[in-house]
Structure 1
């Protein structure tokens, strides 16, 4: 490998000429396959003569190769790895400051894979870099490498962690304290060297990594606790030097000094929550540490934190938002501890007035967003803050925790403060400063609202007067941010029973005025959410009903303007509450929702295909949630047209392009929602339209191109519906058959990371496929499916001891026996599996719970028993006839109760009337999957159940258990799902069979009933009699 030519390649990747760049990239792809490529990259990185941009290009390429190929089975030559390990640390030492961070993922990848077995001298090499404290580049590199070694243990929880890590902590962590202490002792002087605050940050991160998942024993010792807590407090006490304070406030958090303080506060919070207090995160192994920490450490830390808050309030200390978050969160956790509450209680009023109120008071930068970037304002103020480390989030949690956990002591002072503040402002003019104060006070009220309206609250009866006097008037504020907050806080009192109609009128008018405020998006947004909150109020419902169509149209417009899943949820509530009024609007509603959804999907697809750095992750998350919300709303609209297949046919034409786009672009984040739409469309129409068949093709392609192990379960209900409602097409379309069988065999062959659940899904899908075919079309597939099912049962039986797995795998063979008995039995005989499978089947016949399994086995038994005696004798299978006759009786005894229970479940579900089944003709190969339900089936099932209760035959658990049924074995049947056998009149089918055999083959009939007792013979007689009526 020639270093000069490689240098030219990297130089070429930086050229403006696209042709030169492409040529250089191709040359690099070829060069990386040659031995010595990584060593040449290290030569370039260590050369003093090569310009920095080329080094950066080389380093990034080097990093990508390491990350993708270092681990086992990667393409990196085994002999080259020791060279990389040997030279890497020295390369980092001499690298430019701007490139050092790029080495972090390289170090991490190699350490995770190779330390300590393949890189045993890494620790010694690292700590040797600590030897000369004046060589700051070496000291920084040593600390960088040491922190990455600690990172390796962050998520490790096993014996190796303790055996490896404890010795590292004992030997080297005292050195970290010494180095860190020297940096802290003269922060002003240290500020002149960029490496020193970075080293301080890495020391704190090293402590974070080793204490994140558990607390190593060496750090539980009293001396270590004192030293490390003292070190963290010393970092907190640093007066930020000029390099930090000279930065703009928005940029200051990037300073390593500020980051060090953030990690100091964060580490202490983590130690407290996980190990220093009793709770769900800690266990009994920290009892001694917990006692020491709670009694000695927490009180001193609280004093320190209250001191820091006071300095911050007086403007004597600048504290970053992240550090404030951790300070407040620490106090919040201490509120819940009896041992520390006594320390906090005297500061309660200060926490409300000097901490919560100022933090809730909106900054200029936030109010600028209200005007200039309303979407960002909504995300920051009303949505995302729940997941961000902002002091606003921490204060809200603190106030809520005080109100809940220290209700008797804290709730009234919090309410009194907010009441006093709002009341004092009633006579003030509506200035920006007054509006900000009201905003802050209202946010405090929002934090405690749930406690104020609960049944036992002493303040509940006062809340209506409070709201009408001090909250609702703010609906008329000239400041939009305050009107939005008024909507938000009012919504939190939706459980309150209002007694004065005038107050409800003011509330409704205020909410609708906000919703109609087209000039301020956040106000509209909160108005929309308030509509959802109060939609169940009779006065609201009646008033809103008269304007529901224009309201829904406006909600659609708002949904298009804001990437949020909350507005689609409001639309969904409107559809649920005003379905009749909105039904004529359904087509237009679906069209607008589909248009918005397509726009979001196109933006997300563009982001998926582009450089991740070009897109904001929060924004993409908002768009994803908004798309999911619209999918949910589309489904709600669809379900409200369930009684009109004609209207659904129109709707599907509108949303089908959206589903096609998801599948065609492999947007697997929305596969589940897409399959749910396909499932419900086919279910509600009991039909598969040409459009749905086109989407079926898209689905199969998308599933095979994606990770099938992640997506098959989501697709199952839709794919099964295609087999049920599209059986006639499946039966005649060999391409569809081959595609479905190919997908099933991919799972059976374990061509991917498939779990037993995936195998069961594939097996159940195989059963549905077979039942959609006839003997001619099933012939090519039955032998393969039977063999594979037998194989899977054998391989998995030890790991899947329960009956569920066996039932589902056996159903593939039983379905094959129903549809194509010749090929099925031939395959069982060829594989010498007849005895073992029939023995298993005999066992399973006494353990079925699902109607589908019972019906399928009855059909399988009838199919077998329908074979002429001569053929059975030639196959040496006539000996199983008596047992199969007994199995038939057992199943026919159990199935009426199972059907009755399933019908009860379906009746208990909302809107389950109507046919969703197919006829028994389908099983025997007749055409047409749209037949109506046999009206006699339901009455016949009731007659059979009644016969059981009145002595015709027994269905009680004792009777079932004597034949081996396990009554505690639960294998639930989905009452919403349909199967190919739902409409099969199994009793009529049995009656026709048994009468035919009795008349035409008395020997076989005698063999079938030879093991039945009188009670079981009565069962057969009753079934024949009832089925004949």
Structure 2
């Protein structure tokens, strides 16, 4: 395409006529595949004789074409030719420094893409080009060069490997001396906005180069101190009052404030790297020198400069919100360091009362947003990124850190100020006329109290006054004429929902009043109040002791939340539903189907919105909807008659997730829903079975890492409808299981260990649930497991253990069949040796190195019991000669299983809520004037601490694998998931086996017992005693299950009568 034709296409691409525009865009897109096209685009973008609109369009098209065709790792895209790349790299720098801003910005972004791909190896001429422009004396060229240098510095901001560090050092050595000279010159003539902007770019680049670690070149040549002095001088530059934009948003982005922002970023970054509490010791001499330079020469001067900014702010001077934020961030950091706080201490009250605290108040910007765009007000108030840059959030964090670290220095004064505001608002409310400024100050005071809730409840002199404060000052705000105060009252009430009142946590008059007021606020006429009330309601739902008080309000609660969900996109609304469903448990039943329908509707809306906008909006809310559906299903697990209706609503969502050909970000959530649908209720429906092929496809075609989560619904389908699993031939589910396991355990697939272990577990599920009915897979399963155990990489220790667990399951399935197969194929001796090695391997403290989970110990014990139970005629010679080792292994495994079950129960005990069980002394404070200090009763706390120490003692010397196994067993106990081995007790079986051996094979028993050491004899006796305990527990469990079954049957009958 020649230049004339290209210019015509570029002009047509800006046409108002859609047809003309699309035709031109298609031609430009096609041109990107032709050699020579992209350099011509750059030429047009840089050609002064071409009109600016066409040049700008050429620059945009150039950037998009480079983005598509430059990156060598991009797939299915034709790469730009080496010749085109050479031409572009040679000409791009010259185009950037000579182009107007509208074109330059696009070219700089293109340079950034190429720098990330090609610099320095493919673009070595860039540094000489930069130096040439920097030394030209032409400010336009210098400014363009600085923009490109910024892209280079940014590439090394998070440099991690040695090669990148060396490259950064080379760039620093070549360019930073000239940058420093230029910056000093600009500081001397810092009057024009252009010079200020150039200084900003230089400091911004310096921050990038020093973000992870400073280039050692700067430390060795002594220039680092000059750079820090430069940043300090920029921070102290007086901002001219003339020329500042009138628009608040534009004023905040004015180049002078952006320069100060980056000067502040230098200080914040160096403090974080060298002065914060979490910093370790310097690793090199250069790092040590840099740390000493910062801490001894620079930190305090920077702190004094920040104090000057804070002083100006307290006197009413304008400081941009981001600079205010960074000022407070730096001051907050300095609270932890003695020499820094010594500078702050004389001014700490002023910093608290005159700088930080006033920022908490509701302001004009808040009011405008509240009135004109309440949804944006809600979004900003709950956006993590907004909070990170917020001056208000920084002020609240500063007050929190002052309270925790330097409380005696400033908290009494702050609390007096808060009480004064409380009383002023109370007086104004009493006469029925609350001025706007009083209401706004009250909003800030409430924010302060809520932010300090953790601190206040720990301090004895404040703690006893919290309930009177909530009654006297917070509860009346729920009736305020100002919506923002009603919203803040909801937030503060939620912040103290877990407070220990005289009646306890989650109970009492004040708790009830706050919860009632918060629930009522969910019907407030103003949306931000309703949203805040909904989020705070979750706090009360989690803490309320008597759930029955919620039941009358459930319909209104659900209606309010669901209505809000249709109006506002907010993840926390869904979290509140989760909390409500979780606390109500099966009492959510009457509302479960309708609630699920609303959640499905909301989920589909959020997913559609995300797809339409091609962004992240709505994705968190969509995840939240899936989690809430999970909570509903889990809560209704004991209401099986509901599941057909719930399945009809939820299963289409599951199918939509698991059937996507290219996978979905919500596969695990969809699979979890299917897990519950297949576990609860009657046996799995045919609609649930229809999900099986999708599950297999996900593992084999989408991502095998999902195999672990997919194993759960497969397990449920097999265990809860074994007949269908075995009898169905279209599809053949048994064959599908075997094929999937064989596929995953093929070393040629290159799967991770995590993706291969579930294949062994799937075989175990089949063997345990189909005992006596799948004899034909025992031999192949042994062959597959033992082959993988032999071929797996040495690092795949967990996979090898999983393979041996499958061997144990085969032996438990049929000792005769398994041992016979192994003996027939010459594998028995090697298998026994491997098993004995694994059984006897121990870690420090005597814990087993393998078969660590309780379920694994159980299967091992059952396998060994099966071997020991064989008659003399059935025992292969290799086994007969090793019965002593087998018997020793049985004693060990049963002893370990007994300890594991007892320890898991101990660790499962609830530590209780430890909040408010301790206080510390400080100055007295009583906002109501009526509070009296009370003595602390530590009995409950001491009991909990004793239990905690017992549990911790169990894990003190355990490895990560031990802990994983322990907590896995806790999860098993908490979930109470039924399995085919639940009614098989190895302790009782061992007791019966010993009695049978005593009667039938007394000589064998005598030989086995005689080989045991005294300590093992004692362990065997303990196991025998534990068998009696297990008989009693099993009988009690059977009675409980019978009662529960009768109760459920009655409920189901009543449901059928009323249905």
Q: TM-score, length-normalised on structure 2?
A: 0.76
User: Is the contact between residue 884 and residue 1008 of structure 1 (CA under 8 Å) also seen in structure 2?
Assistant: no
The within-5 A match list for 1:448-463 is 448-454=452-458, 456-463=459-466
Moved more, 361-370 or 976-985: 976-985
Shift in CA distance, 730/36, structure 1 to aligned 2, threshold 3 Å: farther
Query: In the TM superposition, what is the alpha-carbon distance from 1:595 to its structure 2 partner?
Result: 3.2
User: What corresponds to 2:765 in structure 1?
Assistant: 768
Report whether the alignment pairs 1:798 with 2:805: no
CA displacement at 1:703 relative to structure 2? 4.8
Q: What do the CA deviations read for 1:914-956 (whole angstroms, capped 9, x no partner)?
A: xxxxxxxxxxxxxxxxxxxxxxxxxxxxxxxxxxxxxxxxxxx
| C-alpha distance in 2 between matches for 1:274 and 1:491 | 36
Q: Is the 8 A contact 2:519 2:557 kept in 1?
A: no
Counterpart pick for 1:840 among 817, 834, 844: 834
* TM superposition shift of 1:397: 0.3
Distance 2:867 2:170 in 1: 70
Are positions 1:706 and 2:702 aligned together? yes
Contact (CA 8 Å) 2:396, 2:451: kept in 1 or not? yes
- 1:926 maps to none
Pairing of 1:887-966 with structure 2 (within 5 A): 889-890=887-888, 892-894=890-892, 896-897=894-895, 900=898
The answer for the alignment partner of 1:932 in structure 2 is none
CA contact (8 A) 2:424 2:438 kept: no
Give the match for residue 300 of structure 2. Answer: 299
2:826 matches 1:810 = no
Corresponding residue SS for 1:227: helix
In 2, are the aligned partners of 1:815 and 1:860 still within 8 Å (CA)? yes
Cα pair distance change 1:837/1:1012, threshold 3 Å: same
Partner deviation per Cα, 1:348-401 (whole Å, 9 max, x = no partner): 232233222332222223123223333322333356477431101100000111
Give the superposition deviation at 1:689. 1.9
Partner residue of 2:490? 487
Residue 200 of structure 1: aligned partner: 199
Deviation at 1:778, TM superposition (A): 8.9
State how many pairs are aligned. 943
C-alpha deviation, 1:222, in angstroms = 9.8
Q: Is the 8 A contact 2:375 2:568 kept in 1?
A: yes
Instruction: Name the residue aligned to 1:273.
Output: 272
Higher alpha-carbon deviation: 539-548 or 464-473 = 539-548
* Aligned: 1:142 with 2:145: yes
Structure 1 residue runs without a partner (length 5+): 912-965
2:591 paired with 1:596? no
In the TM superposition, what whole-angstrom CA distance separates every residue of 1:845-882 from its partner, at most 9, and x where no partner exists?
Answer: 54534465466567878999999999x9xxxx955343
Question: Once the 2 structures are TM-superposed, how far is the Cα of residue 460 of structure 1 from its aligned partner?
Answer: 1.9
Classify 1:589/1:277 alpha carbon distance in 2 versus 1 (closer, same or farther; 3 Å).
Answer: closer
Q: Which residue of 2 aligns with 1:381?
A: 381
Structure 2 distance, partners of 1:506, 1:424, is 23
Aligned counterpart, 2:640: 645
Are 1:244 and 1:257, in contact at CA under 8 Å, matched by a contact in 2? no
Corresponding residue for residue 180 of structure 1? 183
Instruction: Tell me the residue number matched to 1:880.
Output: 878
* Residue 467 of structure 1 pairs with residue 470 of structure 2: yes
Q: Is the 8 A contact 2:719 2:769 kept in 1?
A: yes
**Equivalent of 2:755, from 747, 755, 758?**
758
Shift of 1:695: 3.5
Q: Which residue in the other structure is 2:650 paired with?
A: 655
Is residue 673 from structure 1 mapped to residue 674 from structure 2 by the alignment?
Answer: no
* Distance of aligned partners of 1:981 and 1:7 in 2 relative to their CA distance in 1, 3 Å threshold: farther
Q: Paired residue for 1:348?
A: 348
State the Cα distance separating 1:168 from its structure 2 match.
Answer: 3.7
Counterparts in 2 of 1:438 and 1:90: CA distance versus 1, 3 Å? same
2:1052 aligned partner: none
Name the CA distance, whole Å, in 2 between partners of 1:19 and 1:835. Answer: 78
Please report how far the alpha carbon of residue 96 of structure 1 lies from its aligned counterpart in structure 2 after TM superposition.
4.6
1:231 corresponding residue in structure 2: 230
- Kept in 1, the 8 Å contact 2:522–2:531? The answer is yes
- Cα offsets for 1:715-771 (capped at 9, x unmatched): 343333334334444433446556656655665457888432223234333543566
Cα distance, 1:547 vs structure 2: 3.1
Where does residue 135 of structure 2 map in the other structure? Answer: 131
Report deviation, 1:489.
1.9
Equivalent position to 1:524, from 521, 530, 533: 530
- Which secondary structure state, in structure 2, belongs to the residue aligned with residue 76 of structure 1? coil
Q: Structure 1: how far apart are the matches of 2:359 and 2:534? A: 27
| Whole-angstrom distance in 2 between the partners of 1:262 and 1:704 | 51
The correspondence for 2:55, drawn from 46, 52, 55, is 52
Shift of 1:419: 1.2
Gaps of 5+ in 2: 841-849, 910-960, 1036-1059
Which deviates further from its counterpart, 91-100 or 364-373?
91-100
Q: In the aligned structure 2, how far is the partner of 1:207 from the partner of 1:56?
A: 28
Measured in 2, the distance between the counterparts of 1:828 and 1:861 equals 16
Separation in 2, partners of 1:510, 1:851: 48
Q: Secondary structure at the match of 1:643?
A: coil
Residue pair 1:728, 1:772 contacting (<8 A) in 2 also: no
- Of the three residues 156, 159, 162, the one matched with 1:156 is 159
Alpha-carbon distance in structure 1 between the residues aligned to 2:899 and 2:835: 24
Question: Residue 515 of structure 1 contacts residue 523 of structure 1 at CA under 8 Å; is this kept in 2?
Answer: yes
1:329 maps to: 329
Residues 217, 899 of structure 1: alpha-carbon distance in 2 compared, 3 angstrom cutoff: closer
Moved more, 639-648 or 8-17: 8-17
In the superposition, relative to structure 1, how do residues 522 and 74 fare at CA in structure 2: closer, same or farther (>3 Å)?
A: closer
- For residues 406-462 of structure 1, give each alpha carbon's deviation from its aligned partner in whole angstroms, at most 9, with x where no partner exists: 1122221111111123323433321222211211222222222222221x4312223
- 1:511 is aligned, of 515, 518, 542, to 518
After superposing the two structures, state which structure 1 stretch, 570-579 or 123-132, moved more: 570-579
Q: Which range moved further: 736-745 or 655-664?
A: 736-745
- Tell me the distance in 2 between the aligned counterparts of 1:42 and 1:865: 82
| Aligned mates of 2:851, 2:400 — CA distance in 1 | 51
Secondary structure in 1 matching 2:247:
coil
Q: In 2, are the aligned partners of 1:201 and 1:260 still within 8 Å (CA)?
A: yes
2:812–2:866 Cα contact (<8 Å) kept:
yes
Contact 2:47 2:55 in 1 (8 A): no
In 2 relative to 1, CA 204–822 (structure 1 residues): closer, same or farther, beyond 3 Å? farther
Kept in 2: contact 1:322–1:390 (CA 8 A):
yes
Query: Does residue 586 of structure 1 match 2:587?
Result: no
Counterpart of 2:310 in structure 1 is 309
Deviations 1:139-160 (A, max 9, x none): 2332233222222322223444
**SS of structure 2 residue aligned to 1:245:** coil
Change (3 A) 1:369 1:189: closer
The structure-2 alpha-carbon separation of the partners of 1:52 and 1:167, relative to structure 1 and needing over 3 Å to count, comes to closer
Distance 2:462 2:585 in 1: 38
What does residue range 511-590 of structure 1 map to in structure 2 within 5 Å?
A: 511-517=518-524, 519-535=525-541, 544-579=550-585, 581-590=587-596
| 1:100 matched to 2:104 | yes
Shift of the 774–208 alpha-carbon distance from structure 1 to 2, 3 Å rule, reads same
The change in CA–CA distance for 1:981 and 1:6 in structure 2 (over 3 A counts) is farther
Q: Is contact 1:10–1:57 with CA below 8 Å preserved after alignment? A: no
Task: Determine helix, strand or coil for the equivalent of 2:249.
Answer: coil
Quick one: which of 113, 120, 126 aligns to 1:122?
126
| Other-structure match for 2:372 | 372
Q: Distance in 2 between matches of 1:741 and 1:101?
A: 59
Residue in structure 1 matching 2:629, options 630, 634, 652? 634
8 A contact 1:723–1:772 mirrored in 2: yes
Shift of 1:480: 1.0
Higher RCO (CA < 8 A, seq sep 6+): 2
**Matches of 1:852 and 1:464 in 2, distance apart?**
49
Instruction: Encode CA deviations 1:108-161: one digit per residue, 9 max, x unaligned.
Output: 454445444444443223222212021523x23322332222223222234445
In the superposition, the TM-score normalised over structure 1's length comes to: 0.78
**Deviation for aligned residue 1:212:** 0.8
Displacement after TM superposition at 1:521 (Å)? 2.0
User: Could you say if the C-alpha distance between residues 799 and 382 of structure 1 is closer, same or farther in structure 2, counting changes exceeding 3 Å?
Assistant: closer
How far the C-alpha of 1:176 sits from its partner, in A, is: 1.3
